[in-house]
Amino acid sequence: DLGPSGKPTHPLATAPVGAPPHSVDGFVKEFLHELNTNQGVPLSLSSVNDQYMALASTVRNYLMARWLETNRKVHENKPKTIGYLSAEYLLGRQLGNALLATDLSDIAEKGLALCGIDIATLRAQEVEPGLGNGGLGRLAACFIDSLATMDVPCVGYGIRYEYGIFRQTFVDGRQVEQPDTWLSLGSPWEFPHPEASVQVDFGGHTERYIGEDGRERVRWVPAWNVLGVPYNYMVPGYLNGRVNTLRLWSAQATKAFDLQIFNSGDYAQAVRAQTFAENISKVLYPEDSTPQGKELRLQQQYFFVACSLRDFIDHSLEDGFDLHNLPERVTFQLNDTHPVIAVPELMRILIDEYDFEWDEAWDVTRRCFAYTCHTLLPEALEVWPTDLLGRLLPRHLELIYQINDHFLAEVREAFPGDELRAHHMSIISHGQGVRMAFLATVAGTKVNGVAELHSQLLRDKVLPDFSALWPEKFTNVTNGVTPRRFVRLSNPKLSELINDTIGNGWVTDLERLKELEPYADDPEFRAQFAEIKAWNKHRIADLLRARDGIDLPDGHLVDVMVKRLHEYKRQSLKLLHIVSLYEQVLSGKIAASEVTPRTVVFGSKAAPGYAMAKETIHLINKVAATINADPILEGRLKIAFPANYNVTLAEKLIPAADLSEQISLAGMEASGTGNMKFALNGALTIGTDDGANVEIRKLVGDKHFFLFGMSEPEVAELGAQGYNPHSYYDANPQLKATLDLISSGVFSNGDRHLFDMVVENLKNQDRFMALADFDSYVAAQAKVEERYADQDSWMRSAILNMARTGYFSSDRSMRDYLQRIWHTTPML
Ligand code: F55
């Protein structure tokens, strides 16, 4: 019996797989079954890991029927799909989200309790997949969650790094990196499909030959290749029956490759070759702002992009699609420039493999891609040296030159005689290499920034010539965060209060939090809200005590700065504020009793090669050790710096915050997304007019946001005048006393030079103008203290922050992408 695809069918083969029964008894049966058949142990002999694995596969089984059904519908209806191309996905733990998506949390908790198991212990067993650095990777994870929840067909494509972002430890206050062995106990969430592996070629040279039709053609003769093995992950929508797919590629040596060497008799060399191939997906590069121009990184980028395009195109062809219509089938969204090598790759496939003419191929390619930029820092823009690119991907370099020739012809036509402009806009910059952001801009149907201010600066400052040529290409989509993970799961008590007050529709329609606004004036509601904040503080205090031996005193203002460590984010400015408070108490300018009881929590990883960032971590830890131990402060000022800040810790920390620190130099933070998570969990923001802070402040209102610092135009002007940080040091006695205290040795056992790198940099370079904003920041912090003293008024503002920031749901971001960029509506 043959089905339409020529494959044998059986009536039962296409029948929907029934989900297991939704009852406590049914769940226990399934759980014990998984424990016995998957882990091979009885309950009495099972380890915590056995139990976690069995629980995960039990929950997974509930999702499986929906996954099969989603894939069946996609196969049948062939809807337009979003191919999200991202080198990073910072997913966080999966179990809680899967339980939420299947509505199994209560059943599982009760069922496990019947087996004598505390579900919290099993949750804690999960190692989060840290396959990203920070904001960009977490954004990708929020976006695929929203698309699944909104019933939009999407495949997320990326790399299955064997080692994700490093595990941070502190040794004598200094960051020491440990490998992240997230796979060592096995992952129950992945489905390897070695049979669907894809070959990826590298190196070699190109040849010209005459095809059967008499046209000149190009053949790439690669020197070596590897296999990409797909690992599928479920991306469940929230209670909607949809499960999309995240497909991460793992590199393996190809058979032909090692057979050749094995046959030559050099066994050791053959094994080394295998290692060489597998290195490609071995480790995530831990730089979050200064890309490493390393060959292995380019290999990673081409590797996952080549696998993903091959995969998508093969499936489209199987479905009977004509590649001329590919743009109706898919938009590939480029998450920053990391996957931009996909542009010449698609050109190569269409021209060299499917005989497209240049113009036809370019027309299809252009309409298939859209590009999101996540930065403004010049050093973050990827440029690949032409010799490196040509060595690794000779055919792609040729195609990039050709794309550039066609593009520059277009520029010359639009601006006749303006050779200087053509020179500025060239994708190939002489002396540097291939500017990937330019290539993405030329190829993309749309180019977007990630917050209003960022999109405007992208048009005006980073790509002004491009926006002059193609104004309609540029658009904004302000970032968002998923309310499932960052409110519903991370803040269960607050979720319950919201549910009791306005129902549970907000989880998929976050603007409905607006309905909470009137309750800001309800003393009863305020009291409940305050109680929940206190409960969240106790929860994180318990965790930090157990995890790090950190003491978080009761009744403190919890002031949180969590994000990657970078000079532009200005952790050093936060530190100057703390040291300034300490200095004032030490010198008797203020009494300890005048200091608002406050714990400042830092969470931050530094790129391993970023010396200034690592020194700043060292300094924070040393200041923390001194201040935390000094009785002069009467316990009113504490610094907590738990190591290894990650998504799991964020979920516990953010709901406990009173104050959210978003203090980047204006014009530097593209958007920020932590800022949104804090506001949604009822923290007030102290922040500059930067990134999405601008939009947060507009929505919550000036009275409920502590604005400080120069605006972006003021920053630009000060820069143009010539910024001299030393003049601020000289003119401001408190700033001078603060920096001098760091140099006095009180934080470094009398060593006056230990922190020279940080202090001298601030005094003499201060690229991100921390000293210029110091006064304004300290003044804003004084306002914070004043407001915090009036708890009623503070809680009112906190509630309004939550009620007015529903706009920052990633569901809304996805609607904006659908309307402005993908031009498709949600369909099954
Ligand atoms: C990672 C690798 C390289 Cl080579 C360069 C940058 C990164 C990276 O992680 N960037 C990043 O996280 N950018 C951030 O993206 C967020 C999401 O759009 C923004 O909110 C944030 O402002 C931006 O810094």
pLDDT of residue 358: 98
pLDDT of residue 6: 54
**Ligand 1 atom closest to 669 (CA):** 22
Integer angstrom CA distances of residue 650 from 168, 317, 556: 15, 43, 19
**Residue with CA at minimum distance from ligand 1 atom 15:** 136
Alpha-carbon torsion (414, 417, 423, 426), positive or negative: positive
Beta bridge partners of 156: 84, 246
**Mean pLDDT across 397-414:** 98
**Residue with CA at minimum distance from ligand 1 atom 11:** 136
**Mean pLDDT across 412-416:** 97
CA 406 to ligand 1 center in whole angstroms:
31
**Residue with CA at minimum distance from ligand 1 atom 21:** 672
Q: What is the pLDDT of residues 319-329, one digit of tens each?
A: 999 999 999 99
> Which residue would you say has higher pLDDT here, 151 or 18?
151
pLDDT of residue 431: 77
Residues having CB within 6 Å of any atom of ligand 1: 133-136, 139, 287-289, 291, 374-375, 380, 450, 479, 669-673, 691
CA 563 to ligand 1 center in whole angstroms:
11
Active site residues: 374, 563-564, 569, 673, 677
Tokens describing residue 404: 């550039």
CATH no., domain 554-808: 3.40.50.2000
Q: Is the pLDDT of residue 262 over 70?
A: no
Closest by CA to 158, choosing from 245, 64, 39, is 245
E-assigned strand segments in 591-705 = 598-603, 637-640, 659-662, 684-687
Rounded distance between C-alpha atoms, residue 438 and residue 422, angstroms? 12
CA 531 to ligand 1 center in whole angstroms:
35
**Ligand 1 atom closest to 670 (CA):** 22
**Mean pLDDT across 618-632:** 98
**Ligand 1 atom closest to 133 (CA):** 9
**Ligand 1 atom closest to 454 (CA):** 22
Helix (H) and strand (E) counts in the chain: 34, 25
Lowest mean pLDDT among 167-181, 289-303, 684-698, 804-818: 289-303
Phi, psi of 208 (to 5 degrees): -100, 140
In this prediction the pTM is 0.97
**Ligand 1 atom closest to 139 (CA):** 17
Q: What is the pLDDT of residues 444-456, one digit of tens each?
A: 999 999 999 999 9
Lowest mean pLDDT among 112-116, 380-384, 427-431, 622-626: 427-431
Rounded distance between C-alpha atoms, residue 292 and residue 389, angstroms? 14
Spell out the domain ranges in the chain: 78-93+128-478+816-822, 554-808
**Ligand 1 atom closest to 138 (CA):** 17
CA 373 to ligand 1 center in whole angstroms:
9
CA 320 to ligand 1 center in whole angstroms:
38
**Residue with CA at minimum distance from ligand 1 atom 20:** 672
**Residue with CA at minimum distance from ligand 1 atom 4:** 291
State the burial class of residue 626 (Cβ atoms within 10 Å of its Cβ: 0-12, 13-18, 19+). Answer: middle
Q: What is the pLDDT of residues 394-405, one digit of tens each?
A: 999 999 999 999
User: Would you place residue 827 in the very low, low, confident or very high pLDDT band (cuts 50, 70, 90)?
Assistant: low
Ligand 1: which of 284, 300, 375, 808 to mutate, most ligand atoms within 8 Å of CB? 375
pLDDT of residue 41: 98
Question: Mapping DSSP to helix (H, G, I), strand (E, B) and coil, where does residue 750 land?
Answer: coil
CA 381 to ligand 1 center in whole angstroms:
11
pLDDT of residue 1: 44
pLDDT of residue 3: 45
Question: Mapping DSSP to helix (H, G, I), strand (E, B) and coil, where does residue 187 land?
Answer: coil
**Mean pLDDT across 188-207:** 98
Q: In which order are the strands placed within the sheet that holds 428-429?
A: 383-384, 433-435, 428-429
E-assigned strand segments in 673-728 = 684-687, 706-707
CATH 3.40.50.2000 matches 78-93+128-478+816-822: yes
**Residue with CA at minimum distance from ligand 1 atom 2:** 288
**Residue with CA at minimum distance from ligand 1 atom 9:** 288
The kind and range of the H/E element at 272 are: helix 267-278
Beta bridge partners of 217: 209
CA 824 to ligand 1 center in whole angstroms:
26
Q: Is the pLDDT of residue 11 over 50?
A: yes
The kind and range of the H/E element at 360 are: helix 358-368
**Residue with CA at minimum distance from ligand 1 atom 3:** 288
CA 315 to ligand 1 center in whole angstroms:
31
CA 135 to ligand 1 center in whole angstroms:
5
Q: Is the pLDDT of residue 756 over 90?
A: yes
Chain-centroid distance of CA 688 in Å reads: 22
**Residue with CA at minimum distance from ligand 1 atom 13:** 136
Integer angstrom CA distances of residue 256 from 175, 205, 227: 43, 20, 11
Integer angstrom CA distances of residue 612 from 37, 247, 435, 571, 667: 52, 36, 27, 11, 21
Q: Is the pLDDT of residue 298 over 80?
A: yes
E-assigned strand segments in 564-648 = 598-603, 637-640
**Ligand 1 atom closest to 692 (CA):** 20
Q: What is the pLDDT of residues 111-164, one digit of tens each?
A: 999 999 999 999 999 999 999 999 999 999 999 999 999 999 999 999 999 999
Average pLDDT taken over every residue of the chain: 95
CA atoms within 13 A on the CB side of 661: 25
Q: What is the pLDDT of residues 695-712, one digit of tens each?
A: 999 999 999 999 999 999
Closest by CA to 715, choosing from 762, 758, 668, is 668
Ligand 1: which of 138, 374, 381 to mutate, most ligand atoms within 8 Å of CB? 374
The kind and range of the H/E element at 343 are: helix 342-348
Rounded distance between C-alpha atoms, residue 613 and residue 606, angstroms? 6
The size of the chain, in residues, is 828
Rounded distance between C-alpha atoms, residue 186 and residue 130, angstroms? 15
Tokens describing residue 446: 């749309």
Q: What is the pLDDT of residues 199-234, one digit of tens each?
A: 999 999 999 999 888 989 999 999 999 999 999 999
Q: Is the pLDDT of residue 828 over 50?
A: no
Phi, psi of 250 (to 5 degrees): -120, 135
Q: Is the pLDDT of residue 265 over 90?
A: no
Domains 78-93+128-478+816-822 and 554-808 share a fold: yes
Ligand 1: which of 142, 161, 284, 289 to mutate, most ligand atoms within 8 Å of CB? 289
